[in-house]
């Protein structure tokens, strides 16, 4: 499996694993509680591998940002909670990605990224960051 199969579904908490496609959508499994849901094609769905974070010079793929967090935390859960204050979140994210665009990356985005990293870590899926990174390098 790769991060190509890990999804964020708007208005649904956490991350989901793509299980299978159906005639009018797909079945996804929550990484939070393991429950399966049916998602129709009209839902706003984002693949983790397609999300990017604004920096002052470019848009950095989320996979690279998550890898920076993984390196900072030595593959352990983050030292900060996604429920921390706005200032604490921004300070932590500045340590991870010093050139992130503070005008276009909001505290709510940082909360999601930290929560997603911790979900991947809990589900022992951080190795997917390495796999996707290697795959992207081979494609270039």
Tens digits of residue pLDDT in 60-82: 999 999 999 999 999 999 999 99
Domain with CATH 1.10.10.1650 in the chain: 52-139
State the DSSP H helix or E strand holding residue 15, giving kind and residue range, or none if neither. none
Span 35-48, average pLDDT: 91
Tens digits of residue pLDDT in 89-138: 999 999 999 999 999 999 999 999 999 999 999 999 988 787 654 444 44
Q: How is residue 55 annotated by DSSP? A: B
**Six-digit token string for 127:** 């190795």
- Residue environment code for 67-99, b if the CB has 16+ CB neighbours within 10 A, otherwise e: bbbbeebeeeebebebebeeeebbebbeebbee
The per-residue pLDDT for 131 is 62
Closest C-alpha to 75, from 25, 125, 30: 125
Q: Which CATH architecture has domain 3-48?
A: Roll (2.30)
Say which residue the tokens 């796999």 belong to: 131
Say which residue the tokens 């990356």 belong to: 105
DSSP string for 87-108: HHHHHHHHHH-TTB-TTTS-HH
Give me the CATH topology for the region 52-139: Arc Repressor Mutant, subunit A (1.10.10)
Domain with CATH 2.30.30.730 in the chain: 3-48
Phi, psi of 26 (to 5 degrees): -160, 170
The per-residue pLDDT for 41 is 85
């Amino acid at each position: 499996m790769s991060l190509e199969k890990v999804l964020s579904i708007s208005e649904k908490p956490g991350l989901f694993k793509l299980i299978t496609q159906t005639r009018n959508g797909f079945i996804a499994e929550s990484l939070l509680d393991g429950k399966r849901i049916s998602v129709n094609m009209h839902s706003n769905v984002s693949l983790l591998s397609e999300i990017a974070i604004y920096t002052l010079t470019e848009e950095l793929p989320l996979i690279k940002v998550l890898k920076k967090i993984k390196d900072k935390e030595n593959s352990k859960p983050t030292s900060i909670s996604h429920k921390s204050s706005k200032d604490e979140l921004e300070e932590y994210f500045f340590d991870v990605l010093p050139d992130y665009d503070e005008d276009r990356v909001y505290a709510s985005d940082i909360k999601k990224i930290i929560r997603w990293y911790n979900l991947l870590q809990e589900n022992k899926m951080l190795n997917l960051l390495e796999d996707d990174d290697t795959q992207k390098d081979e494609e270039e």
